[in-house]
């Protein structure tokens, strides 16, 4: 790993950031960290980390069990491979965000680990299959 003066790694050379279970409250800017695994579960963050949606080679982003309620629409422009590496399970997402995630799941089969998306789509499939059987 290349280091700057003072012994710190240059942001673009950091490939793992694990701040799990630390009360950050605010997500760190990761925009300069090109190939990254970011573990920010249970940190109390309220929004996606700045720069997350611009990372082209994201390995993993565990953002579970935080206080994120709003999902920016930019998340739906990610490649399916990149989107599939983001875990948002256990966040108090707004109903609008859940609805947009359900719509995205319908088109791309990526659920971001959100139980509400998984459960509601299972209910919709079950209800749809039941109505087809009744016909």
pLDDT digits (tens, 9 = 90+) for 1-53: 444 445 555 666 677 888 889 888 788 888 887 777 889 999 999 999 999 99
Alpha-carbon span 91 to 122, nearest angstrom = 20
Q: Where are the domains of the chain?
A: 11-134
Which pLDDT belongs to residue 52? 92
Cβ–Cβ under 8 Å, residues 101 and 93: yes
Which pLDDT belongs to residue 3? 44
Which pLDDT belongs to residue 35? 73
SS3 state at 89:
coil
**59-100 per-position pLDDT tens digit:** 899 999 999 999 999 999 998 889 999 999 999 999 999 999
The residue assigned the tokens 């190939």 is 35
Q: What is the pTM of this model?
A: 0.76
Which pLDDT belongs to residue 83? 93
Give residue 116's pLDDT band: very low, low, confident or very high (50, 70, 90). confident
State both tokens at 26. Answer: 């605010």
Enclosing H/E stretch for 127: helix 115-134
């Amino acid at each position: 790993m290349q280091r700057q003066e003072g012994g710190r790694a240059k942001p673009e050379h950091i490939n793992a950031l694990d701040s799990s279970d630390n009360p950050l409250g605010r997500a760190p800017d990761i925009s300069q960290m090109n190939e990254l695994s970011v573990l920010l579960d249970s940190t109390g963050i309220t929004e996606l980390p700045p720069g997350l949606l611009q990372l082209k080679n994201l390995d993993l982003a565990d953002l579970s069990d935080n206080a994120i309620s709003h999902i920016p629409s930019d998340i739906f422009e990610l490649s399916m491979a990149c989107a599939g590496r983001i875990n948002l399970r256990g966040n108090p997402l707004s109903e609008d965000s859940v609805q947009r995630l359900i719509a995205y799941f319908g088109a791309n089969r990526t659920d971001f680990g959100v139980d509400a998306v998984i459960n509601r789509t299972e209910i919709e499939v079950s209800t749809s299959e039941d109505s087809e059987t009744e016909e």
